[in-house]
Structure 1
Amino acid sequence: MRWKSLLLATTLLTSLSTTTATAAPATFAHPGVLVGKSQLDFVRDKVNTNQQPWRAAYDQMLAHPFASLTRTPKPRAVVECGSYSNPNYGCTDEREDALAAYTLSLAWYITRDDRYATKAIEIMDAWSATIRDHTNSNAPLQTAWAGSTWPRAAEIIKHVRGNWPNSGRFATMLRDVYLPEVINGRTSSNGNWELSMTEASLGISVFLEDRASYDKAVSIFRNRIAAYVYLTTDGDLPRTVPGSGLDTREEIISYWQGQSTFVNGLTQETCRDFTHTGYGLAAASHVAETARLQGQDLWGEVRERLRHAYGLHAKYQLGVEPVPSWLCGGTYKQALGPTTEVAFNALANRLGIAMTNTQRLTERQRPAGTDKLFIAWETLTHASNPN
């Protein structure tokens, strides 16, 4: 029994270690949420010179309803979302209006057709004039998904296009309606929730130039990503986040969907399904990318976890190897979705890490579209983008 006591003690010590180092830049870079100006200039040049895969990705985006110039926003004062958006009172409308605003902002940047910017502003103004709260059990996740997307659009419009009279009201909306719902994280849920919440918190903090919230988001992210993706260097058991209440081996295994064998790249939700795993990995990639634009190297901190995570899941999704019997009972559910471009570009293209299976999956899925939740057009924005 002594080894179990030592193992539990190690796990508890690991769960209590937190990172609180200041992270926020002295001066925020704008636009600087997921995409920066040099990235957007690269994309614009590739599209306008008909180079692939960017042109095909752009054509896909422009043909999507999110790019429609006749879109009518559907804001609500209260968005109520239960589990799996049941009930769905404004949940889909909010997420898709946010994605439409981002889509239209990208379309404006590439074409400089002001009709796209005008429509993006119309959507953002409609919501900032109306929404006051998110309610029901999925409120934190709903707020996180929409709150991750709004700042991407707002950064492009405010800091590149300009001439947005109600940008201050939009900032107030993010500060008063969205940030309080996501800034403290959520230790008790599956990890994709807190990763999306930190993505929203970070993006909102950049738009608001809120250094304290930025630092808090990064601190929560560091703890959560270390507890979401397992590395053998973590020890015999995965790490846990402070306040999770996971105090025993049995509790940790249960939280990891009953998986008791741990290998590099396994995530807390792998044996739940690959789709929710993809949400978590995408949100983590977005956090690292936004931090990079703000001059902070989170990619260096998470590179091993994310390269192994994407590699493991890509291998089985591609069928390179059969799923072994010890992993999720020998089968996996669903698929990662359009979630690989940002991490693959950062890790393989910028850092030179070999990611053979992730590359195959990424190229097979191109052009990556949108999941209609918080991920959109990442082949366009991040494929082989050196900036």
Structure 2
Amino acid sequence: MSRTSPHQHHHPAELSRRGLLKTAGGLTAAVALGAASAVTTAAVATTADAAPATFTHPGMLHNAGDINRARVRVAAGDDPWLSGWRRLTANSHAQSTWTPRAQATVIRGGTGQNYGLLYHDIAAAYQNALRWQVGGTEANARCAATILNAWSRTLRSITGNADRFLAAGIYGWQFANACELMRAYRGFDLAAAQNMMVRVFYPLNNQFLTGHNDACVTNYWANWDLCTMASIMAIGILTDNAAKYDQAVNYFKTGAGNGSIRHAVPFLHGNVDGYDLGQWQESGRDQGHAVMGMGQMGALCEMAWNQGDDLYSYDGRRFMKAAQYVAKYNLGMNVPYTTYTWGSGQNCAQQSQTVIGSGSRGQVRPVWAMLHFHYNRRLYLDDRYISQMYYNVVAPEGGGGDYGSTSGGYDQLGFGTLMYAK
């Protein structure tokens, strides 16, 4: 994997931050930024197509700089961070009185479904972890650790119909992210969490990515691959496992399924009214799932970025072109659409979508802050439609519990205004 971004428009401070992930000369700066793990000259020497020799912690959706910025800005009463903080503290999941309901078996799909217990508890763990990291409140730290410890010590299996793979993917990367925020807290059992993630989540993640539930490799929508890849990457970071991390990155670049970048964005439409657009794989399905994809691929790219890999810009910023496309259509504007054809079922029976799907058009999900603040504020690129989606529709972003009671409202962790505004 290349450690060098192809862009020439980084802010000088951003170049410095990225450089210290790649060069031994950045050791002093890394310590000054509050790097959680020791960095040595040998550790930062990396080779092409290899995970970092030493992982950065915290280094999933949020790094030490993100956390410190939010802490300082909220304490100073600055907006938009303060508005994002108020959305967090008002959420019922973010209260230190939350009681976990850990289960030995989680079922998604078929009879006996109980997976809501897991995604509600993950939202609570993540939100309490954020309150502790940004606000310094011990009660929230204890609550987050209690939730994560309960599930780490109790969960034995994830089952159900094919949807069990969605549960293992979405809740895998989310649970790992909550753990990453808590890994330095004395009351959190990191070893139990690492063991549970490797024992319960990863086997299902790996099984899906390598076998696709014994179906045609293109049968499953992009989000199935994407949440699975994000879970594998998050588990790799949580456990400092380079092979798992690489598995996710390599699949993003060259995987056979619909989550790899060229399958997730099958058509490029070139310059449309001054902006390059890329058609998203699920756009012919409905917009709820298309927007969900922005969150799933965004999470994968953000985690990789915090480990020194720029998937956001891979293949000519293909993901940005897709995000612009999805945002533009969901803002009520027209976009071009090319007939999408794929193989389905076990025998790869051909199916086609000839028009863009209008179902759930304009659905609000907290996925746009991450993309806007990356492309526009880190890279200084014109992200017109992403920017409009963020400022005109979703800002300030909330999280799980703020976007409806069904699972779709919990498919992303949210609170991007608080954690990504720059």
- Give the alignment's TM-score, normalised by structure 1: 0.80
The structural deviation recorded for 1:323 is: 7.8
Q: Residue in 1 aligned with 2:82?
A: 55
| Residue deviations 1:209-244 (CA, integer Å, cap 9, x gap) | 01111111111122312211134399xxxxxxxxxx
Corresponding position of 2:226? 195
Displacement of 1:287 in angstroms is 1.1
C-alpha contact (below 8 Å) 1:199/1:287 kept by paired residues: yes
Q: Secondary structure at the match of 2:278?
A: coil
Aligned to 2:119: 95
Shift of 1:328: 5.8
Residue 66 (structure 1) aligned with residue 102 (structure 2)? no
Counterpart among 25, 28, 33 of residue 55 in structure 2? 28
How far is the alpha carbon of 1:353 from its aligned partner? Answer: 1.6
Give the whole-Å Cα distance in 2 for the aligned partners of 1:273 and 1:114: 42
Secondary structure, aligned partner of 2:312: helix
SS in 1 for 2:96: coil
> Could you say what secondary structure the match of 1:35 adopts?
coil
Q: Taking every aligned residue pair, what percent have the same amino acid on both sides?
A: 26
Counterpart for residue 248 of structure 1: none
Spell out, residue by residue over 1:79-134, the C-alpha distance to the aligned partner (whole angstroms, 9 max, x if none): 1110xxx5463211101211211111110011111100100010011101111011
Aligned with residue 371 of structure 2, among 343, 368, 384: 343
- Residue in structure 2 matched with residue 37 of structure 1 by the alignment: 64
Shift of 1:329: 3.7
Say whether 1:317 aligns with 2:344: no
Correspondent of 2:358 among 308, 332, 339 = 332
Corresponding residue of 1:277: 290
Higher relative contact order (CA 8 A, sep 6+): 1
Matched residue SS, 2:77: coil
- The 1:283/1:74 distance shift into structure 2, 3 A limit, reads same
Q: 1:136 aligns with which of 139, 153, 160?
A: 160
CA distance in structure 2 between the partners assigned to 1:59 and 1:139 by the alignment: 34
Task: Return the offset for 1:336.
Answer: 5.7
Secondary structure of 2:106's match?
strand
- Cα displacement string for residues 286-330 of structure 1 (whole angstroms, at most 9, x for unaligned residues): 111111111122222156222211211222222244888989646
Matching residue within 201, 213, 217 for 2:244: 213
Give the residue type in structure 2 aligned to 1:228.
Answer: A
User: Contact conserved, 1:104 with 1:116, CA < 8 A, in 2?
Assistant: yes
1:226 aligns with 2:262: yes
Give SS of 1:32's match: coil
Write the deviation string for residues 51-94 of structure 1: whole angstroms up to 9, x where unpaired: 11211111111111111211111111111110xxx546321110
Structure with greater proportional helix content: 1
- Give the letter for the 1:333 counterpart: G
Question: What's the offset of the Cα at 1:337?
Answer: 2.0
The 1-side partners of 2:237 and 2:57 are apart by: 8
CA gap 1:118/1:227 in 2 versus in 1, 3 angstroms = same
Which runs of 4 or more aligned residues in structure 1 lie more than 3 Å from their structure 2 counterparts after TM superposition?
A: 231-234, 320-331
One-letter amino acid of the counterpart of residue 51, structure 1: D
Among 138, 141, 154, the residue aligned to 1:114: 138
Q: Which runs of 5+ in 2 are unaligned?
A: 1-47, 271-275, 340-352, 400-408
Backbone CA RMSD of aligned residues = 2.4
Counterpart CA distance in 1 for 2:338 and 2:183 is 52
2:312 is aligned to 299
Q: State yes or no: 1:381 paired with 2:419.
A: yes
Check whether the contact 2:367–2:414 (CA below 8 A) recurs between aligned residues.
no
Please report how far the alpha carbon of residue 175 of structure 1 lies from its aligned counterpart in structure 2 after TM superposition. Answer: 0.9
Classify the secondary structure of the residue corresponding to 2:158.
strand
Partners of 1:144 and 1:128 lie apart in 2 by 16
Distance 1:190 1:363, change over 3 A: same
Aligned length: 332
The reply to whether residue 157 of structure 1 matches residue 182 of structure 2 is yes
* 1:148 matches 2:176: no
Letter in 1 for 2:173: S
Match of 2:200 in 1: 177
Contact 1:146 1:374 in 2 (8 A): no
Distance 1:303 1:284, change over 3 A: farther
Q: Which runs of 5+ in 1 are unaligned?
A: 1-20, 235-262
Please, what TM-score do these two structures have when normalized by structure 2? 0.74
Displacement of 1:164 in angstroms is: 3.0
Deviations 1:30-66 (A, max 9, x none): 0011100111101111111111121111111111111
Mapped partners of 1:32, 1:281: distance in 2: 20
